[in-house]
Amino acid sequence: MTGALLRLERLAKSYGALKVTDDVTLDVREGELHAIIGPNGAGKTTLIHQISGLARPDAGRILFAGEDISRLTMAERVHRGLARSFQITSILPGFSVLENVALAVQAQSGSSFRFLRNAAREDALNGPALTTLARFGLAERAHRPAGLLSYGEKRQLELAIALATRPKLLLLDEPLAGASHEETARLIATLASLKASVAILLIEHDMDAVFQLADRISVLVYGRVIASGSAEEIRSNPEVRSAYLGEEAA
């Protein structure tokens, strides 16, 4: 692993009197999967919103590849190499699986077409989209309406859409939520394979998956980072065990 690709410097965000991000400083290095864990209401999703551009911090800076992106739009951040998934799948259910990914390729490449439905008919979009789908085991589903996929397949498709934008960093918000045991195993394998090509910032409640995948883990409690380190360092940290892991760390 090399230097920091993403760095948050003293990030703060409040909604009225509720402080949801409290002086957060952390970094994601090139080539690593950095997981953020914490109890419900810790501010994890709000933190991802700020990094992706969906919400604007009240204070602090977001540096990406050395550039301050704190005031950039979501689209501008995507073009610089940031991509994200959401807790709830954000696919276009009436479009085919291929069209969903082709649109993501188009968004990154700037290729033009007159109608959305033409996306998967452009060779410049179609080829990369099919290659991405094959990587996620979805090539045989290419022409199926995305809304007819199983839940786990929809999560795989969402990852494929994110990867099709050719990101330097993937922001993943609970990609395993709601998946079956078999789908979870498949998604974990997919994330493990992605680590070789793209940095990942992962929010996830499945501790087995987190400890299996993460190079580093940061623990967020009441909007503050109370610890960062390797899986073993987090497992053995008394403050983390008391505030979050509890018996899960035993």
The verdict on 74 and 10 lying in the same domain is yes
The verdict on 6 and 75 lying in the same domain is yes
pLDDT tens digits for range 160-182: 998 888 899 999 988 888 888 88
Q: How many structural domains compose the chain?
A: 2
Question: Which H or E element spans position 154?
Answer: helix 151-164
The verdict on 1 and 67 lying in the same domain is yes
* Mean pLDDT to the nearest integer, 147-171: 90
Closest Cα partner for 212 from 183, 192, 190, 241?
192
Transcribe 123-142 into DSSP letters.
HHHHHHHHHHHHHTT-GGGT
Inter-residue contact 203 to 175 (CB < 8 Å): no
Task: Single out the residue in 134, 166, 198 at which a domain terminates.
Answer: 166
pLDDT tens digits for range 195-229: 888 999 999 989 999 999 999 999 999 999 999 99
Euclidean distance between CA atoms 68 and 74, whole angstroms? 14
What residues form DSSP beta bridges with 28?
6
Domain with 126 in it? 91-166
Question: Reduced to 3 states, what is the DSSP secondary structure of residue 152?
Answer: helix
Closest Cα partner for 164 from 124, 93, 106?
106
The verdict on 241 and 124 lying in the same domain is no
In a domain, 86, yes or no: no
In a domain, 132, yes or no: yes
pLDDT tens digits for range 57-69: 999 999 999 999 9
The verdict on 22 and 143 lying in the same domain is no
Task: Single out the residue in 166, 195, 222 at which a domain terminates.
Answer: 166
Structure pTM? 0.85
Please give the pLDDT value at position 44: 94
Exposed/middle/buried for residue 12 (C-beta within 10 Å: 0-12, 13-18, 19+): middle
In a domain, 29, yes or no: yes
The verdict on 211 and 244 lying in the same domain is yes
The verdict on 41 and 160 lying in the same domain is no
